[in-house]
Amino acid sequence: MKKITIADVAKHANVSKSTVSQYLNERFEYMSEKTRKKIKDTIEELNYQPNILARSLKQKSTFTIGVVVANNVHTFTTNVIRAIEGYFYQEGFHIIVCNADDEPQKEKNYIEMLRAKQVDGIIIFPTGDNLDLYQQMIQDRFPIVFMDRTITDLDITTVLLDNHLAAKLAVDHFVEKGYRNIAIVTTSIIRNISPRIERIQGYREALQSHGIAVKNEYIKTAPAEEISTALSELFSLETPPEAVLAGNDRVLNEVLRFIKSRDFKIPDDVAVIGIDEVPYADFYTPTITTVKQPTDEMAHLAAEQLLAQIKQEEDRKPGVHRLKPTLIPRFSC
């Protein structure tokens, strides 16, 4: 079958090629509703598929956004990706999602691939070990926004949670319920990944604000596959914790699995709060108190900031945007 062209659409609709082009580029200012409907109906009748490559070359845009996530196993990450996709779809963009698996080399390869594909901008959940690459993107004035994690001394717009407040909300709730021996467990902090570091700092500060001594043995960090071992050490202490703050959803999964394996009862034997809302929190037995991130708001802000860079809006300056979490009290305390 002959490939339908813009000229075919114009001839069939009895309009000029430039009018069809204006319609395809959504420039409707001087186009009547009747003409718009005629072109729309013709495109559907002829099953015309616009040449995306030609459009990209003409407008110097691929209408494609890259999203490089540090690890796509987190509920938070999945929800953010979905909201980013929804935002850009409404703006006429597609997204390409890449999962770095917390591996800096994999992140580097994906960023280089996306730039080779000439995406218009990238939202990155940074692994933290590609400083030269991030700096090069700044020098190239390439549109970039960091999500969830900060990198010190880099002038890059960043959207993340107020992690100190997230930990404080959890600790305050534990103390309000009468707990004093409170532990925190997070995944590895080897590369100084900011949310984990900040949540531990927030935990320390919150305990001190209540006049509770910080016990280093109650602070556990480990790779996800070693969380169970860290919990075994924690509950082998002479005075094991009465309450555990899980630093993210993966840790919460491991905490609940460990508690079940030991036949502990929540909250009678140990209280639990997780940072990050999880799908099962409100139907687990007992229901789990969580600290919820405003995922849609964070995603939309990051997308808005990136789009402003793509459109070269002069009044946008790089900055760090910390959004407030919300405690959702349930029955695990």
Alpha-carbon distance of 294 to 288, in angstroms, equals 18
Q: What is the pLDDT averaged over residues 60-83?
A: 91
Alpha-carbon distance of 231 to 252, in angstroms, equals 11
Could you tell me how many residues make up the chain?
Answer: 333
Q: Which position has the higher pLDDT, 110 or 2?
A: 110
pLDDT-based confidence at residue 27 (cuts at 50, 70, 90): confident
Q: Cα 17 to chain center, whole Å?
A: 42
Mean pLDDT value across the chain: 92
pLDDT-based confidence at residue 5 (cuts at 50, 70, 90): confident
**Residues 111, 301, 319, 115, Cα dihedral to 10°:** 20
pLDDT-based confidence at residue 59 (cuts at 50, 70, 90): low
pLDDT-based confidence at residue 152 (cuts at 50, 70, 90): confident
Q: Using alpha carbons only, what angle is made at residue 12 by residues 10 and 13, rounded to the nearest 5 degrees?
A: 65
Q: pLDDT tens digit string along 289-330?
A: 999 999 999 999 999 999 999 988 766 678 899 999 999 999
pLDDT-based confidence at residue 287 (cuts at 50, 70, 90): very high
Per-residue pLDDT, 73: 86
Q: What structural domains does the chain harbor?
A: 6-58 (1.10.260.40), 63-161+296-324 (3.40.50.2300), 163-292 (3.40.50.2300)
pLDDT-based confidence at residue 24 (cuts at 50, 70, 90): confident
Given a cut of 80, whether residue 162 has pLDDT beyond it is yes
Per-residue pLDDT, 68: 97
